[in-house]
Structure 1
Amino acid sequence: MIAVICDDADQTGIQEALMVRRRGLAERRVARGYSQEEFAALLGVATSTVVRWESGRSAPRPYQRPRMAELLGMSRADLDELLSSARTVVITSGSSPFSASLGDPGDMRRRDLLGLLTATSALLALPDSPASASPGRTSAVVPEAEEAVIGHLWRVYGLADDKHTLYPVVRRQLGSLAEEMEHARGDTGHRHVSTRIADLYQLAGELFFDARDNALSAHCYALAASAAREARAYDLWACALTRHAYVELYAGRAASAAALLSAASRIARRGDSALSTRHWVSAVHAEAHAALGDFDACVRALDAAEEVHALSGPVHNGGWLRFDGSRLAEERGACYVALGRPDLAEGALTSALTQHLGPRRRGAVLVDLAALGAHRRDVDQVVHYADEALAVAGQTRSGYVSVKLHGLFPRLAGLPADARVPDLHQRIAALPHPA
């Protein structure tokens, strides 16, 4: 970091000079024909990592630089020179130092959504009254059309390898719903809007969970649960709590997750018995029991989840509820890995890997198979499956797979001495951590 002392008149010039230096890396990338997304994928990192490199907020790790220099058509020495330019300017005006930040798009997006979350939460809590709506203002929104749009977004989310591309569309829809909530009149109107808020904020939570922002995804799920409660939509409410429990699970707070899932289970019993809600809650509850080391409770929960196969007709809506039991083999295998039962885990996981899996699901199974190898102290198995999972994480930028990979660290510590293990540790450490 370079510290620069200047008065107010100098600040603009310094910021402009800094931007020129920071643009050097981006200009070289563009000249070689790569978008930020393509460049990130070729390096096996998140696009946000490339953004931070190009803004000077962070620098590539040494082991990433040879491949980076190759892609940019530069020598290592030239790349190091380019990366060593000033990254931050601290300007002192009078006696108060401050950072001349050029702003990070991800941070601005985060602040924007937090503001919208706060405003929407307040609107949900307000009682309906004539004063709450502008005189003569009526909503032209047709609830069924809005629900169809949200349902379409869920389908696109399920098909997209890079989930982050949906955010701008989702953000516009969230803003529209907040405006509609501000002018909703009567109990029926309030419930209609609350239902759609509960639906769309769960999708927003999924986007941020996949982007490794655990805190923001938890905020989204909490608001979704509150909105579903307002709408008295029990299945929707239980699903929001279950997604919130996932955040707790992957943050290592299994007891907190179990408490949320117990509440979700009670709420799901008040919902539609033809839907798979309660069975999905049981499947996730099994993961919490496994993390807590309770084998018997885990098996009971898995068996309860298997009862989804006794349901007939459409058991889910393909949006906020997608559980149909097709993932139970991999979920059972993951639970047995967590419980230290490789004898039970391997069959379930290898069976799951033969199915047609989306990238995130395949990545999760690969990590569990790597963990199984670590339990056996089989370095070949660990490296083989972890390498494949790292490729998935790099291609999809999936925070879900990234979090699973970070969970391998304690297991790597017990492996026999092998040069591949510290290299694997470094490559996983290069993945962005959840916020």
Structure 2
Amino acid sequence: MGLAKRRRTLGHSQEELARMLGVDRTTVCRWESGKTAPQPPQRRGLAIALGISLPELDVLLSLPGVNSQETAGPQPGTPQDAREADEMIRREFLRILSVSGALTALPVEEAEAFTEAVRRGTAADYASMNSHLWRVYQLARPKNSIYPVIRAQLVTLNEALSGNRGGTRPLLSAAADLFQLAGEVAFDGNRYSDAVSSYALAASAGKDAGAYDLWACALVRHAYVEMSEQRHHQAAQLLGAAGGLADKGDNNLSTRHWVASVQAEAYAGLGDLDACERAMDRAETVRSLAGDGANGGWLRFDGTRLEEERGARYVQLGRLDSAEETLQGALGRTALAAGQSYRRRGAVLTGLAVIGAKRQDAEQIVTYGREAVVLARASSSGYIARRLRALCDEFGPLRRDHRVAELGADITMLSAP
């Protein structure tokens, strides 16, 4: 039985299945024809929607041939068209990056022609705009609502680099900043390939600009993608490189502390309690920085989330009593108010629901899981949706409990941006 046959057996049309998973009908068509494969978070939702296990889904996806009689051609204005436009921007930027990177090695007298605009504040204008976009991103619900502005800024920055308007290094720093933001939007929307491309470009631009902290932060964000796909060894390698770069950066910034915090997550994923605890302790030293080590843009780590991060690591490691005590403390400090993060509270609630699942406590799963679903719907956050889909994997025998089954259905219906 192929993927399309299983769908039809359940009485679902492509449109209905797409609506349940929060994707376009053409995406379902491409899955069924074998042209593309669902991303890891989509696989979980697809398996739940089709009433099969993940291994059974893998078997269906591996079957050769086109299983569906239904076809759907590309429609103008679809997300696929937008991605093609973004791919053109990326290719052009890579070409310019190759040239601009060479310019950074030129003697000062040969590069003077490219610095006049910097003296007039051109590069500073880009940095100011990027900083503003990060603030808007933090407040935006949904996050992808600011993507058109990011794309327009990327086009403008490309033109500046292509025309050598402004000093190369400052413009490359601005590009490293902006591509990290583009990656964040893509990652929140479960578009992993786009996120990785953006982070790779950010790292390359940061390298050519000699901006060690920007470069390190791009690697940290790339590591988050690896961990979302349960590739903790690969994440640890990226974070090791990021730590070396952070040590060469600005000691007044919190870059190295953020690296340590994320390393703790990678070590927890590998089951290494001692390494996780050491990394969390290094992250805690952010409190000893003389000033504000975060800039509110591409570097936002200031230690305020350490409690919930430590609780999440305890959940990963199976230390449930310590995890619950820590997350309950964090829950009171993430009460929603103007400007506070849905993502932070959603992550804490999901962590508490996972603890309930590991203890096979249906009441705890439903109590915290339902509130997290409300936040995911209100914010259209792919981040919270991913956490909730991972929660479904923990249900075990409680899937037969009607309350847990209803929560699982609600999670499946979440629309990712």
With normalisation by structure 1, the TM-score equals: 0.74
CA contact (8 A) 2:284 2:303 kept: yes
Alignment of 1:147-162 (within 5 A): 147-162=127-142
Structure 2: tracts of 5 or more residues without a match: 1-14, 32-45, 50-67, 335-339
Match of 1:282 among 260, 278, 289: 260
Q: What is the match of residue 368 of structure 2?
A: 385
Secondary structure of the residue aligned to 2:373 is helix
CA contact (8 A) 2:381 2:416 kept: no
**2:96 aligned with 1:123:** yes
**2:93 aligned with 1:113:** no
Residues 336, 144 of structure 1: alpha-carbon distance in 2 compared, 3 angstrom cutoff: same
Match of 1:395 among 365, 368, 378: 378
Q: What is the match of residue 368 of structure 1?
A: 351
Query: Partners in 2 of 1:250 and 1:411 — Cα distance?
Result: 16
Q: What is the match of residue 269 of structure 2?
A: 291
Residue 384 of structure 1: how far off its partner (Å): 1.1
Query: Partners in 2 of 1:351 and 1:220 — Cα distance?
Result: 35
Alignment of 1:295-334 (within 5 A): 295-334=273-312
Q: Which structure has the bigger radius of gyration?
A: 1
Residue 114 of structure 1: how far off its partner (Å): 1.8
Residue 432 of structure 1: how far off its partner (Å): 4.8
Secondary structure of the residue aligned to 1:252 is coil
Structure 1: tracts of 5 or more residues without a match: 1-24, 26-42, 65-86, 91-98
Residue 199 of structure 1: how far off its partner (Å): 0.3
CA contact (8 A) 1:88 1:101 kept: no
Match of 2:234 among 231, 237, 256: 256
Point out the structure with the larger helix share. 2
RMSD of equivalent CA atoms: 3.2
CA contact (8 A) 2:267 2:275 kept: yes
Q: What is the match of residue 406 of structure 1?
A: 389
The residue type equivalent to 1:164 in the other structure is N
The residue type equivalent to 2:412 in the other structure is A
CA contact (8 A) 1:56 1:88 kept: no
CA contact (8 A) 1:280 1:305 kept: yes
Q: What is the match of residue 425 of structure 1?
A: 408
With normalisation by structure 2, the TM-score equals: 0.77
Q: What is the match of residue 170 of structure 2?
A: 192
Query: Partners in 1 of 2:264 and 2:70 — Cα distance?
Result: 50
Q: What is the match of residue 273 of structure 1?
A: 251
Query: Partners in 2 of 1:294 and 1:114 — Cα distance?
Result: 39
The residue type equivalent to 2:147 in the other structure is Y
| Deviation string, structure 1 residues 244-269 (Cα, Å, up to 9, x no partner) | 10111111111111110010001000
| Deviation string, structure 1 residues 286-333 (Cα, Å, up to 9, x no partner) | 000011111100000000000001111121111000000000011000
The residue type equivalent to 1:395 in the other structure is A
Query: Partners in 1 of 2:399 and 2:75 — Cα distance?
Result: 46
Alignment of 1:92-103 (within 5 A): 99-103=72-76
Residue 431 of structure 1: how far off its partner (Å): 3.0
Residues 416, 183 of structure 1: alpha-carbon distance in 2 compared, 3 angstrom cutoff: closer
Q: Higher relative CO (CA 8 A, sep ≥ 6), structure 1 or 2? A: 2
Query: Partners in 2 of 1:193 and 1:143 — Cα distance?
Result: 6
**2:321 aligned with 1:343:** yes
Q: What is the match of residue 182 of structure 1?
A: 162
Identity among equivalent positions (%) equals 44
Query: Partners in 2 of 1:285 and 1:100 — Cα distance?
Result: 44
Residues 144, 182 of structure 1: alpha-carbon distance in 2 compared, 3 angstrom cutoff: same
Residue 414 of structure 1: how far off its partner (Å): 4.2
Query: Partners in 2 of 1:89 and 1:369 — Cα distance?
Result: 42
